Homo-oligomer: A and B are copies of this chain.
């Protein structure tokens, strides 16, 4: 029987981050990490294998982190856990015999799987999903190379990123979304409308407010039937309507878990067994803002949770305050991002808010090459003036500006705090110091707050 201080199941964002963090917090412990597949794809990079990155092999997470942090890496499937005995049964890939691993502490980073909707024809050849399995993804890639007309079901971030990648290959590309607009569950209306215009500009056919009633074809997919009776011809269909937590192993072992919410964890990322932790898509989550269950599934959230779980293995060192939720994407030329609560989300949970908006050239002067307009909206709770969210569009600096906003949210900064924050600016890298968007958005909110009080 193999023995280890720490066993990590899963080596994607949660598992890899856990390994690094355990080593930093507990330098002396032994570690084993286990995964099913030979390699782990970079989860957020999966859409980009279609064109930009070009192959699944160029989108793999490096195993260097395990080597560097002295973690034994085993390839195989953990088929059972005995929580009382602190053991896991590992069936190695290939012909090896199953073995038992005894652990002191266990971290579950078993991730999630794409939701397969109960649509007739969903199992036809030519229907795919964004599974995190390199072998499967290579099949998807070959199929995309052979296809001419693609239909993506689901107009969320992954669906749109996949569709844009297909469209970059010059393929006929359509997206079907049940809700009236794409990204409806992510952004506020202002950003959604910009995204829609960009999707049209890219030549992606958007079918919104439409349900797929069947996927049709003789022996392989040929078309997608919508609820208005229209039929979209398709050589290939990809489903991207969300993911569901992988809880089977945990549930079979007797850990508290729920197929919708995942493996139940507390604020220390402990499951219902004190020596078992969970992080990432497989773990239950609550909102930073309400403490209520939330369904955010992001690699950045997985990594943040793993940093808490790993630090707490042998004594409680960290608390996880719930998921803030920081989304960013790039559609065509538009980078866009959201942090925490948008106006829609704030309204829906009944938080009175004040929004401040500012936009300016993202370089200064605006005659600097590559200049775009970048706008930022900040959302403050009306009664405390504290920042509860923000939205940014459209230059690439959006990617780090959302992280400024996220930091400000987590620090509980007020509009006045933000308006007086000192920042730096350079002509080639930022807006002018006079027009810097976050500060001006905060000042605009202060004007509204003064009127409101």
Contacts and interface: CB of A to CB of B under 8 A. Distances in A.
Contact of A397 (B59, B399, B420, B439): B399
A169 interface: no
Contacts of A58: 365, 367
Q: Which of A65, A400, A416 has the most CB of B within 10 A?
A: A400
A90 interface: no
A323 B422 contact: yes
Interface string A17-39: 10011001000000000000000
A433 B17 contact: yes
Contact of A406 (B24, B422, B433): B422
B426 A329 contact: yes
A424 B328 contact: yes
Interface stretch (A238-246, A248-256, A303-311): A303-311
Contacts of A399: 397, 424-426, 428-430
Contacts of A288: 422
Contact of A423 (B60, B61, B403, B447): B403
Contact of A427 (B45, B423, B428): B45
A106 B65 CA distance: 59
Contact of A426 (B303, B304, B328, B439): B328
A424 B210 CA distance: 30
A443 to B, nearest CB: 5
A155 to B, nearest CB: 17
Contacts of A402: 424
A240 to B, nearest CB: 16
B432 A42 contact: yes
Interface in A296-336: 298-304, 307-308, 318, 320, 323-324, 326-330, 335
B427 A44 contact: yes
Nearest to A323: B422
Interface string A91-124: 0000000000000000000000000000000000
A302 B425 CA distance: 12
A230 interface: no
Interface in A48-66: 48, 52-54, 58-61, 65
A348 interface: no
A419 interface: yes
Contact of A45 (B52, B364, B419, B444): B364
B369 A52 contact: yes
Contacts of A439: 307
A367 B421 CA distance: 36
B326 A24 contact: no
B434 A303 contact: yes
Contacts of A430: 328, 399-400, 403
A329 to B, nearest CB: 6
Interface stretch (A1-9, A173-181, A407-415): A407-415
Interface of A: 13, 16-17, 20-21, 24, 42, 44-45, 48, 52-54, 58-61, 65, 288, 298-304, 307-308, 318, 320, 323-324, 326-330, 335, 337, 339, 364-365, 367-369, 396-404, 406-408, 410-411, 413, 416, 419-430, 432-434, 436, 439-440, 443-444, 446-447
Given A24-B447, A328-B429, 12 more contacts: A20-B440, A24-B443, A48-B428, A58-B367, A301-B422, A303-B434, A304-B433, A335-B428, A335-B429, A403-B423, A403-B430, A407-B421
9 contacts: A13-B432, A21-B443, A44-B426, A303-B436, A326-B422, A326-B424, A328-B426, A403-B424, A410-B422
